[in-house]
Each structure stands twice: as C-alpha cells, then as structure tokens.
Structure 1
Amino acid sequence: MTSTLTISGLTKRFEGVAALTGVSFSVAAGERVALLGHNGAGKSTMMKIILGLIPASDGRVEVCGAAPGSAEARRRVAYLPENAAFHPALTGEEQLRLYLRLRGEDPRGALALLERVGLHAAAKRRIGTYSKGMRQRVGLAQALIGRPRLLVLDEPTSGLDPVSRRDFYALLDALAADGASILLSSHALTEVEARTDRILILSEGRMVAEGSLTELRRSADLPVALNVTPRNGYASEIAANLPGAIEAGGLLHLTCSQSDKLAVFGRIAGLGTKVADLEVLPPSLEDIYSHFSGRHGQ
C-alpha cells in the first residue's frame, strides 16, 4: 500500500535533551493510526515535525511524498488541535467561508462542510455562543477543506458528548474509506481501541510498541480473564474443575495465560449444561498501554 506518511530514524533534541529518539513508522493510505503516550512522551513534538513547524535533528520524514512544511505537504495535510479557537464574533458559516477563501476554494461550500460535522442548524450563530464541542466540530470542518490525504488530529474528541463522538468516528471511517490517512493522538483509550487499524505507543521519546490491537495483545502476553456463570447447584463442581477459580457474586472468576486459553475453554466446554454462561475479557488497550509503558520505564 502507498504510504502517506513515512518516518525513519526520527530524532529531535532540544538543547541536548532528546524529545524523540530513533522513531520509525509509516501510515498507509486509508489507514487509521492511534498515537498513544503519556504527557511528555514526544507526541506533540512529532506532530509539529510532521506539520513542518519545527525541524528534525536527525532522520527522514516524508509527508505525501514531500518534505514537511513544503507547499505540497501543506496542501495535502490537515491538522486539528485539542483546543480549536476561532473569532467569537463570526458565525460558523462566516468562519468556514474565510478558511475556504484562504485555501482558494469556493466559499459557498461552507454550509456543506458544517452539515458534515452536524452544525448546519448552528451555521448562522456566532461562534462565541458555541460550546467547546461545537467549536471542536468547526475545527474538524475546516480540517476537511480541500480533501486532505493526511489528517493529524490531537485529542480531537475533547469536549464532545457521546453522540458527537460516535458521529465523529463515523466521519473518520468514511474519510479513511475514501483513502485519507489518519494519525490520531488521544488519551481516550476506550475510543481508539475499536476505531483504529494500528496503534503506536511512545514512551520517553521512543517507540515501545507498534501493531494492531490483536498483535499488541499477542506481544504483551497478558492474562485473559474469564467469568463463568454456573447453573444452580453446580458452582462447587465447576470450581473443582477450574483450579484457581474464585467464587464471588454468583460467578466464578479466573485468569489464564494466552497459551493456556484454549485448554481452559475446553475444560469449561466439557462441563456441558452445568455452565449457564461464559464471559471472556481479553486485555484492554489500557492494560496493554500500561504494560508497554511500564516495561520501558524499568
């Protein structure tokens, strides 16, 4: 697949202090990639380099086949910061018309952009009356100008209510299906867990993990949690067949390693109708993130 963003051996130093060290990855066309890391891990520094706002100290960065900050890269890249700010006296439509003119686009497309982000009904209202979530959606609308091929999004759902967050990710899905690449930084791990194709984890300026959620689970090799619901009267018999199981609240709780998972499933299946239900809880993205970040810090 064609890479929209390619980073190789990226290093950035500030007065001798390394903010990024030897970071390498690529983002393919149509791929949704989550960039995770604690505050100070290097996420913002990386985004600034991708956008051409600051230079790299070493390594190679290619954005849509061009150098970061070049006219070609700026034409193809869109950015949405965590806290989008606009002139409070302008209406949503006026603000978008201004941005469209600055990009050499037809200003009459402002209403269509606002409709895509669910703000058509508020287009004539002054932005000063908008909530934070509404301002964030104005920011997303301006990021869509010119059909960008790479969207760099920094905590993009900050201030959005649950319904707006769902609509936001649905829009990202549509953009990715159309071939746009998405690099998204977020602390909302439960959101990105199900809505991204690949996950990058930074810690202290270094890439400590990269892959799909399935790949990261396999690599982390964290235990799987199981909740077994016994039929009435069979709890003790089931527990005897599942060493280490703990009974609480009418359920039997146990954990097993990834390598033992199928064998444990087989033992549970062998109990037949004595088992009323089985819930499998694989490691969450939060568990995986804590694992890799903690391991790097040791």
Structure 2
Amino acid sequence: MTSTLTISDLTKRFGEIAALTGVSLSVAPGERVALLGHNGAGKSTLMKIILGLIPMTSGQVTICDAAPGSAAARSAVAYLPENAAFHPALTGLEQIRHYLRLRGESPSLAMGLLEKVGLAQAARRRIGTYSKGMRQRVGLAQTLIGHPRLLVLDEPTSGLDPVSRREFYALLDDLAAQGASILLSSHALTEVEARTDRILILSKGRLVAEGSLADLRRRANLPVTLHVTARNGYASDICAHLPESILVDGALHLTCPQSEKLETLGRITGLGDKVADLDVLPPSLEDLYAHFSRGPQP
C-alpha cells in the first residue's frame, strides 16, 4: 500500500544547529501515528516541513507523491495547531462557511461539519464567547473540509474536557476507518497510548524509536510491575514467599524482568487463596517515552 506520507533521511539545519538529523518514517492510509518528543526535540520543525512552511536542508518528503507546499500536497493535507485562532466577531457557522468558500466547497456543508465536532448548538454564537475547547473544535471542523488524506494535529486535545477528548478520538477513529492518515503530536501520553496504531519518539532531532506499543515494550525490555493483594492475615506469608516484594498499605509491590514474568506469576498463583487479587502492570507509554527519549539506543 502506498504511504500517504513518506520521509527519507530528512535533515534540517538552522545555521550550525541541527534541528532534525536523518529522520525517516512513513504513515500509511488509515494509520493513526503519535509523534512524541520533549520541547525542542524537532516535532514542530518536522510538521512545518511537512506542511511546506519551511524548506528542508536535505532528504526527501512526499505527501501523496507530491512535494510539500505544492498545490497537490496542500489539497491533501489539513493542519490543526495547538492554539487555533479565529475572528472573535464571527459565529462558528460563519467561520466554517468562510473556509468552505476558500476551499471551493459549498457553504451549505458548514452545519454538518459543526455537528460532527459537537458544536451544532453553539454554531450561531460568536467565537469570542467560545471556550478554548470549543475553539479547538472549530479548528477540527476546519481540518475536515475537503476530505483530507493526511491530518497533521499538534496537541489537538488541548483545552478539551475528558468527555470531549473521548469524542475527539472517536472522530479520529472514524476518519482513519475511512482511509485518512493521522499524524498526531501530543504530550498527553495516556491518551495516545490506547488510541494510536504506531508511536514515533523524537529526541534531539533524531528518531530514536518507532513501532506499536507492544513493539516498544519488547525493545525497551523494561521490568513488569505486579501488585499483589493478600487476604486478611496472609500478608506476612506472602512477603516470606516473595522476599523481593515491598508491603505498602496492605498490598505487595514487586517488579521483575520481562523474561521472568511467567515464572513470577506462577509463584504468586501457587499461593492459592492467600492471594485476594493480582494486577500485572506492563511498562506504560510514559515509561517507554522516558526510556527512549534519553537519546538513541544501541
């Protein structure tokens, strides 16, 4: 399957400063990809190059086989910045109608787009009265104009409440199911952990890790955490059987290497009804991010 976005050996320098070095990646149709990295890692520079806002120093970038900034690439890409700004005197409906006209689309589509992002009831209110989360939804409605092939989203859930965030990701799921490619930059790691297909981690301008959450866990080989809840009166027995555990508020906490997980689980289940409950916690995306973002791994 031809990738919607392909980046090969991309380097960007600002004078003596290397913002990106040798970055290669691709995003397939219908794929949801999270782009993670600390401030200054190169995420914004990468997005600006994809959008055709700044030139690359070397390498190659194509969007639907077109060069960034070309008419073909611009028609295929939609962008949502972290802080979307709109004219405060316009209503949400007027703003989206305006963007539809600019894209050569029918203004009659505006209400449908606002309904899609949950703004139908506020469509005729001035944007100056909107909360940040509501302005973000106007921005998302604007990105949906013209059925873009690639959505580039920079901290798109900033300002959204938990319910709105779930609705936002459900909308992204629908768009991906229809074949749209999604490149999403976010610091909300617990959100993207469950709602993206692949994760890219940038550190100091280099792509230091990429893959699914399971792929990154295998590569990082970080320890697994287990929480054992003892039945009343059996905590000391379990501590004696699991001397590496730590007792905290009646529960025992221990870690083990991935390679010893099944053996450790066997030791715990062998305790029978002395154990009331057991939680197995694999490394979270936050753990993996901290591990890989320290720099290129061998």
TM value normalised by structure 2? 0.98
Q: CA deviation at 1:53?
A: 0.7
Structure 2 distance, partners of 1:99, 1:27, is: 27
- CA deviation map 1:195-223 (0-9, x unaligned): 10000000100011111111111111111
Aligned residue pair count: 298
Q: Within the alignment, does 1:223 sit opposite 2:223 as a pair?
A: yes
Structure 2 distance, partners of 1:231, 1:121, is: 52
Q: CA deviation at 1:297?
A: 9.7
Q: CA deviation at 1:274?
A: 1.5
Q: What residue ranges of structure 2 are gaps of 5+ in the alignment?
A: none
Q: What SS does structure 2 have at the residue aligned with 1:3? A: coil
Structure 1 distance, partners of 2:160, 2:271, is: 46
AA at the equivalent of 2:14:
F
In structure 2, what is the equivalent of residue 141 of structure 1? 141
Whether contact under 8 Å (2:210, 2:216) holds in the other structure is: yes
Structure 1 distance, partners of 2:107, 2:209, is: 43
In structure 1, what is the equivalent of residue 195 of structure 2? 195
AA at the equivalent of 2:292:
F
Whether contact under 8 Å (2:111, 2:120) holds in the other structure is: yes
More divergent stretch after superposition (109-118 vs 62-71): 62-71
Q: Report 1:201-220 matches (<5 A).
A: 201-220=201-220
In structure 1, what is the equivalent of residue 83 of structure 2? 83
Structure 2 distance, partners of 1:107, 1:149, is: 21
Q: CA deviation at 1:169?
A: 0.5
Q: CA deviation at 1:236?
A: 2.0
In structure 1, what is the equivalent of residue 50 of structure 2? 50
Q: What SS does structure 1 have at the residue aligned with 2:294? A: helix
- CA deviation map 1:135-177 (0-9, x unaligned): 0000000000000010000000111111111110000000001
In structure 2, what is the equivalent of residue 71 of structure 1? 71
Structure 2 distance, partners of 1:78, 1:293, is: 28
AA at the equivalent of 1:245:
S
In structure 2, what is the equivalent of residue 125 of structure 1? 125
In structure 1, what is the equivalent of residue 266 of structure 2? 266
Structure 2 distance, partners of 1:93, 1:279, is: 49
In structure 2, what is the equivalent of residue 175 of structure 1? 175
AA at the equivalent of 1:168:
F
The share of aligned pairs that are identical, in percent, is: 78
Q: CA deviation at 1:243?
A: 2.9
Q: What SS does structure 2 have at the residue aligned with 1:41? A: coil
Structure 1 distance, partners of 2:172, 2:136, is: 14
In structure 2, what is the equivalent of residue 29 of structure 1? 29
AA at the equivalent of 1:138:
V
Q: What SS does structure 1 have at the residue aligned with 2:60? A: strand
Structure 1 distance, partners of 2:242, 2:219, is: 26
What RMSD over aligned residues (CA atoms) do the two structures have, in Å? 1.2
Q: What SS does structure 1 have at the residue aligned with 2:254? A: strand
TM value normalised by structure 1? 0.98
AA at the equivalent of 1:208:
V
Structure 2 distance, partners of 1:223, 1:294, is: 18
Q: What SS does structure 1 have at the residue aligned with 2:291? A: helix
Structure 1 distance, partners of 2:276, 2:295, is: 38
Q: What residue ranges of structure 1 are gaps of 5+ in the alignment?
A: none
